[in-house]
């Protein structure tokens, strides 16, 4: 699916230079479920943002589906992104002024999909994540777990091949967190590639592989024995 080669990211502010990622080499196969772990500030989110093409690396190569996208323009990256990648955030990031269904539909809005088909697909994923009865509600009327389910639905409604989740359970209690993990697992079993940042070893266990980051370096990669 993707391959990072000697990839580095340096943030330059007025005075400080922060090396968020330092010569990272990572390869992720199609259909994999990968967890990224590490202490706060070690560069997990930066890594995920670069994989998700929300940010560009300072140096190194990023091969996405065998294309080196490291030097692509923002517009070009945006096009690849909306085709292939879905996002789930710790803080859900739903739009407060839109209903559940509209929030999900948003992911299809920029894809040139006719309205009727959009409605069908939104209805289907809402069924799948079990929030169909909440379609007309506003995000503020939902619990955190329900909101994150909406976010998951939004991430997959466009048939994205890969989902990037940045601490998707960070704001949830354990029961709701588990629910979300099971949903991700189910998606993975259907063939979706999943890359997830988490602090919870238990949740990392859902993944087949864990990448440990420390201070911008990949320290270990643990492959969980396939059961």
Partner 1 sequence: MFQNYLSVAFRNLIKNKLYSAINIIGLAVGLMSCVLIMLFVRDEFSYDKFWKNADSIYRLHTTFAVPGREPFVTVVAQGPAKEALQRFFPNEIEATTRMNGMSPVVRRDDKTFQETIYWTDPETADMFDFDLIAGDMHQALADNSSIALSESMAEKYFGTDNAIGEVLTLTFYSITRDYRVAAVYRDLPHNTVIDLPAMVRIDEKDFEEQSWEFAQWFSVNSVLFYELKPGVNIDLVRNRLDDFANANIEIPSQLGRDIKASDFIKYSTLALPEIQLHPAGGGEMKPTGDIKKVQIFIAIAGLILLIACINFMNLATAKSIQRAREVALRKVLGARRSQLIVQFLGESVLLALIGLVLGLVLVEATLPAFSEMLGKELAFNYADGMTGLILLGLVIAVGVMGGIYPALVLSGFLPARVLKANKSAETGGSAILRNVLVVTQFTISIALIIGTAVVYGQMFYATSMDPGFNKDNLLVVRGTSRSGASDKQEALREEILRLPGVTSVAYSGDRPASGNENNTSVTVPGSENTESVLLGVQTVDYDFFSTYQIQFLAGRNYNRDFATDGRPSAEGAKPGEILNGTIILNESALGRLGFGTPQEALGKAVRLGVGGEPGARIQADLQVIGVVPDTHFQSLRRMVRPEMYMMDTDNHNNLSVRFSGDPARLVSAIEGVWKSMITNVPFSYEFVDEAMAEEFTQEQALAKLLTGFSVLAVAIACLGLYGLASYTAARRTKEIGIRKVLGASVLDIVRLLIWQFSKPVLLANIIAWPIAVWGMMSWLETFPYRLDTWVLGPLCIGAGVVALLIAWVTVGGNAAKVARSNPIKALRYE
Ligand X SMILES: Nc1ncnc2c1ncn2[C@@H]1O[C@H](COP(=O)(O)OP(=O)(O)O)[C@@H](O)[C@H]1O
Among Mg ion, ligand X, partner 1, none, the one that 20 touches (CB under a kind-dependent 5 to 8 A) is ligand X
Q: Shortest distance, CB of residue 95 to partner 1, whole angstroms?
A: 5
Query: What distance in Å separates the CA atoms of residue 181 and residue 66, rounded to the nearest whole number?
Result: 29
Query: What distance in Å separates the CA atoms of residue 167 and residue 164, rounded to the nearest whole number?
Result: 10
Of 95, 115, 186, 219, the one binding partner 1 (CB under 8 A) is: 95
Q: Shortest distance, CB of residue 43 to ligand X, whole angstroms?
A: 4
Half-sphere exposure of 92 (CA within 13 A, CB side): 21
Number of residues that bind ligand X (CB under 6 A): 11
Q: Shortest distance, CB of residue 197 to Mg ion, whole angstroms?
A: 6
164 binds ligand X (CB under 6 A): no
Q: Shortest distance, CB of residue 184 to partner 1, whole angstroms?
A: 18
Of 45, 49, 148, 193, the one binding Mg ion (CB under 5 A) is: 45
Greatest Cα-to-Cα distance within the chain, rounded to the nearest angstrom: 53
Beta strands in the chain (DSSP E): 2-12, 17-28, 33-37, 59-64, 67-68, 85-88, 162-166, 193-197, 209-214, 217-223
Of 7, 28, 42, 104, the one binding ligand X (CB under 6 A) is: 42
Q: Shortest distance, CB of residue 45 to partner 1, whole angstroms?
A: 8
SS3 state at 2: strand
Residues in the chain: 227
The residue assigned the tokens 């292939």 is 84
193 binds Mg ion (CB under 5 A): no
Q: What is the CA radius of gyration of the chain?
A: 17
26 binds ligand X (CB under 6 A): no
Residue 106 tokens read as 């948003």
78 binds partner 1 (CB under 8 A): yes
Binding site for partner 1 (CB under 8 A): 45, 49, 52, 54-55, 75, 78-79, 81-82, 87, 89, 91, 93-97, 106-107, 109-111, 154
Binding site for Mg ion (CB under 5 A): 45
């Amino acid at each position: 699916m993707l391959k990072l080669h000697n990839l580095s990211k340096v943030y330059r502010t007025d005075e400080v230079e922060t090396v968020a990622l330092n010569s990272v080499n990572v390869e992720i196969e199609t259909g994999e479920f990968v967890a990224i772990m590490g202490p706060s500030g070690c560069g997990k989110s930066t890594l995920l943002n670069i994989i998700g093409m929300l940010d560009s690396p300072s140096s190194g190569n990023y091969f996405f589906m065998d294309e080196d996208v490291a030097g692509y323009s923002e517009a070009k990256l945006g096009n690849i992104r909306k085709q292939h990648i879905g996002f789930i955030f710790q803080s859900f990031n739903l739009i407060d002024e839109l209903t559940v269904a509209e929030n999900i539909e948003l992911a299809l809005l920029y894809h040139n999909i006719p309205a009727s088909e959009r409605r069908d697909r939104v209805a289907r994923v809402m069924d799948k994540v079990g929030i169909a009865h909440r379609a007309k509600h506003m995000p503020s009327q939902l619990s955190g777990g329900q909101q994150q389910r909406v976010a998951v639905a939004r991430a997959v409604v466009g048939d994205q091949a890969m989902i990037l989740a940045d601490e998707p359970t960070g704001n949830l209690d354990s029961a709701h967190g588990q629910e979300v993990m099971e949903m991700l697992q189910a998606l993975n079993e259907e063939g979706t590639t999943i890359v997830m940042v988490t602090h919870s070893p238990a949740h990392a266990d859902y993944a087949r592989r864990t990448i440990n980051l420390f201070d911008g370096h990949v320290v270990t990669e643990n492959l969980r024995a396939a059961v």
